[in-house]
Structure 1
Amino acid sequence: MAVATDSPKDAMRVALDSTELTRDALPYTDEFERLYSRHTQVSGERLTRHQFWKKLSNAAKRGGWKGKNRGEPAPGLSLQQLDVLRSLAAGKLGRRDTLVYTSDFDEIHRRFNSTTGLTLTPHQIWRSLCNLAKKSHKPEIERLLKQAIDSLVLGIEHFNRPSECGRVASVLIMLDHSVEMLLKAALLDRGADIRNPKNGFAHSLESCLNKAANDAQIRFLSDDERRTLQVLNGLRDQAQHYLADVSEQILYTVAQGTVTLLAELLPRLFGRHLTDHLPKRVLPISINPPHDIQILMDDEYSQLKSMLSKSSDTSTLEPRLRSLFAIDRALNLQPTQVPDGELKEAATLIQQNANWDEVFKGIAQVKLSADGTGVDVAIHITKKDGIPVRLATDREDPQAVIAVRKINDTDFYCFNTTTLAKKVGLSPPKTLALIRHLGLQDDPDCFKQIVIGRSPFKMYSGNALSRLKEALPDVDMDEVWRKHRPKSKKTR
């Protein structure tokens, strides 16, 4: 039986003096087990490993520890894997010492490996947590985060106020600004450039969404999350540049869906909880939150029919139709600007008593999921589960697949090279060079040669326009032109 010849305090110093490892290099290692066992023998104390770690840490913080060996470094994790770990440890990174040898840490370890498919050891998880906790943010990132929170608070405040004066537009504009600031903070934190290198202006929200959802290296938004934010941005665009006419239930769905998503993004991207910045009382409230998209759209569609039946002037219907189409297009990840011809066609379909899911195909593919009640309610906008629906190509037999064929190609492929050039601000030849650089003519979702009569026309879709606009700020057009400019007859 070991004899306790030293005081516990002296025994802790003996343990420290007998190792070359730094404090953060010890947890979940054989060296820690050696120190723990030695301390028990020397001091006679019966401590748990967590208690021993706390005393060891306190003794080390008083100074005089000679440990200089940093031990095994943290494993190299992708940004997305770090997002998982940061989310699991959100709110605890600043006091990570309290996690060591606890059930909370064991749960973080288990869930991280389960989510990512990795098999990291507890020590590797610990070293990764230490790196996350020690990471500091640039002042610009902190300022952007503050702007995001401030705008979110103002958006929620306008949602909850009793006056309807400017309420809808204020909610949409402030929530949209909050999202843009948060995305820019996250992109900057991940090493992405948030400014156009040509003019120095900050990227638009649309460009930020493209980077956050499409860039494989920095990606942190899922397609459903992107849809949620594009719905908000599409309605904000209507409120900012024309008229946004949305029902109270749709406004609530968008507001609560945005708050829900921001509450999920803050822990994932910055290890912080939204409730650390906001009291629960300021979250959006509603006595009648929507739970089913079918019921919601049945009501919306009934109102549209009623408005048409009372007046033959479709201009009174335009703000409501544009707002719904902005949602519909955003859910299909399409530009939210609505052509006049599409509005007229929709009004005709409504007058002919077409079903709403024939008019708003994007909304028909979505479901709402609502969890909790009161201030804890969470709303997610997601694609419906079930049999995947995709577009059949012209080479496929539509009988052999469950698919939707584009009936009117000229509606989908609606831009020629000259039109695209005007929209992106390039000459037609340079636009064609950029098209070749991006390989758009090899993508059936972007390009198709359409024959009208005997004449072939090279036509491009809205997807092609989006990809051109997304790529333009980051490409070297001089280099693109050098490689892909049309060859002269002499050269040929």
Structure 2
Amino acid sequence: MKLKREAKTLKANAIASLKRGLEAFNSHNDDGRSEAVLLMLQHASEMLVKALLVLKGQSVFDKAKGTSIGIERAVSIAQARGWIYGAQGGAIRVIDAMRDQAQHWMIVVPEDTLYINSRSLITALDEILVAHFQDTLADNLPARVLPLSTQPLPDFLMLVNREYAQIRDLLSPGRRARDEARGRITTLLAMEAHVSDEVAISKRDLDRIEEAIKAHTAVEEVFPRLTTLTTHVEGVGPTVRVRITRSVDAPAVRYVSGDDPEGAAAIREVDLQKKYHWSPSALAEKLGLTPTKVKAIRDFLRIDEDPTNVMVFEFGSQKHPRYSDNALRVLRETITPELTERAWRERPLHRRR
């Protein structure tokens, strides 16, 4: 199949990084091994998805910035166009989420977890090559260099349950293994990308989950998304194909809100940011008032005292309040010219200076 020049180059880069990643996976040297695998497999994924976009005539550059888009946006575009499907996108997102933590902070990826997710990704990349490039991984590298492991492929739910028990043990009093425990929690959070289009691992997520595990909260209450997944395995040995998808008989997942104390461990920061998405200035603009007047009204109505209305996000030393659609609805239904005037008159004195 004749490819566009850029698509051909991107595809070649993808295969090259994949080879390096597989070389690292099968290496006898464990120092930095999982990090090297994740870095190379993530790069291979990004290059191949962008090669696919270029092949289909889709721009891979941000119009406003003029820079190449990231892997998250590239995968989203490919999925929206129907060029890759859910399980393929999930496999790519999981490796990307793990790589992000490996590169920017820390992560602990157990061997069988690295194996099953690497295999899942390789299956996805091979399917993309076959479907769109009339090519296969078998045409580019021998089967003997694919990820090999002496451990059998684990059932996904068994893997999650085992990891959860291991983390709980690591967090036991006197173990002094908190860093490893949080590194393993990070891996479980990253694997939520198999069913979630957006995964961002935050310190607050880690803190909530750590406390929940210490309190002996059940795994299905802490990782409800993961307990809906199952592993589909075809073939044996080096040619095995792995797909991680939602189980057809999985129970419905109850996605909790940010103000639900019973489901605190299942809350994810990225979900909270979707719920609380109005900045003070954006909220004021939506209401057609100045930010200072809306602040006076919020104080008068005690909007900020209701956790269903506001969430304060911390980015480093900075704190940013964000408001929900519920806050916008309450303000819209309540605001009148008379109330606005009264709230303005009764605002705290120190704000009038």
Percent identity for Structure 1 against Structure 2: 27
1:398 — aligned with what? none
CA distance, structure 1, for counterparts of residue 175 and residue 64 of structure 2: 50
Structure 2 counterpart of 1:174, from 40, 51, 55: 40
One-letter amino acid of the counterpart of residue 309, structure 2: F
1:277 — aligned with what? 140
One-letter amino acid of the counterpart of residue 92, structure 2: L
**Does the alignment pair 1:417 with 2:278?**
yes
CA distance, structure 1, for counterparts of residue 304 and residue 44 of structure 2: 47
Structure 2 counterpart of 1:210, from 62, 68, 76: 76
Tell me the TM-score normalized by structure 1. Answer: 0.54
Superposed, which structure 2 residues align to 1:25-424 within 5 Å?
A: 136-214=2-80, 218-309=81-172, 310-311=174-175, 314-328=178-192, 330-386=193-249, 389=252, 404=254, 406-409=256-259, 412-414=271-273, 415-418=276-279
Over 3 Å counting, the alpha-carbon distance change for 1:271 and 1:432 in structure 2 is farther
**Does the alignment pair 1:457 with 2:339?**
no
Tell whether the 8 Å contact from 2:50 to 2:74 is kept in structure 1 after alignment: yes
- For the pair shown, the structure with the greater C-alpha radius of gyration is 1
CA distance, structure 2, for counterparts of residue 213 and residue 416 of structure 1: 24
**1:420-478 Cα distance to aligned partner (Å, 9 max, x none):** xxxxxxxx449978xxxxxxxxxxxxxxxx976679837899xxxxxxxxxxxxxxxxx
Over 3 Å counting, the alpha-carbon distance change for 1:149 and 1:432 in structure 2 is farther
1:105 — aligned with what? none
**1:305-364 Cα distance to aligned partner (Å, 9 max, x none):** 221114367445322222221222x13425432232222221122112222222212211
Give unmatched runs, 5+ long, in structure 2: 261-266, 287-301, 314-336, 338-353
Tell whether the 8 Å contact from 1:416 to 1:458 is kept in structure 2 after alignment: no
Tell whether the 8 Å contact from 1:253 to 1:290 is kept in structure 2 after alignment: yes
Give the match's secondary structure for 2:230.
strand
One-letter amino acid of the counterpart of residue 142, structure 2: P
Give the match's secondary structure for 2:187.
helix
One-letter amino acid of the counterpart of residue 324, structure 1: L
CA distance, structure 1, for counterparts of residue 284 and residue 71 of structure 2: 23
Give the match's secondary structure for 1:354.
coil
Give the match's secondary structure for 2:201.
coil
Give the match's secondary structure for 1:368.
strand
Give unmatched runs, 5+ long, in structure 1: 1-132, 391-403, 420-427, 434-449, 462-488
CA distance, structure 2, for counterparts of residue 348 and residue 455 of structure 1: 21
One-letter amino acid of the counterpart of residue 457, structure 1: N
CA distance, structure 2, for counterparts of residue 147 and residue 137 of structure 1: 14
Q: Identify the range of structure 1 (302-311 vs 246-255) with the bigger mean alpha-carbon deviation.
A: 302-311
How far has the Cα of 1:276 moved from its partner?
0.9
One-letter amino acid of the counterpart of residue 69, structure 2: H
Over 3 Å counting, the alpha-carbon distance change for 1:242 and 1:455 in structure 2 is closer
Tell whether the 8 Å contact from 2:60 to 2:68 is kept in structure 1 after alignment: yes
Q: Identify the range of structure 1 (218-227 vs 246-255) with the bigger mean alpha-carbon deviation.
A: 218-227
Give the match's secondary structure for 1:361.
coil
How far has the Cα of 1:297 moved from its partner?
1.8
Tell whether the 8 Å contact from 1:169 to 1:240 is kept in structure 2 after alignment: yes
Over 3 Å counting, the alpha-carbon distance change for 1:318 and 1:258 in structure 2 is same
Over 3 Å counting, the alpha-carbon distance change for 1:455 and 1:156 in structure 2 is closer
Over 3 Å counting, the alpha-carbon distance change for 1:260 and 1:283 in structure 2 is same
Aligned residues: 287
Tell whether the 8 Å contact from 2:229 to 2:250 is kept in structure 1 after alignment: no
Give the match's secondary structure for 1:246.
coil
How far has the Cα of 1:418 moved from its partner?
2.2
Report which structure shows greater RCO (CA 8 Å, sep ≥6).
Answer: 2
How far has the Cα of 1:248 moved from its partner?
0.1
Give the match's secondary structure for 1:202.
coil
RMSD over aligned Cα atoms: 2.9
- Runs of 4+ residues deviating >6 angstroms: 430-433, 458-461
1:61 — aligned with what? none
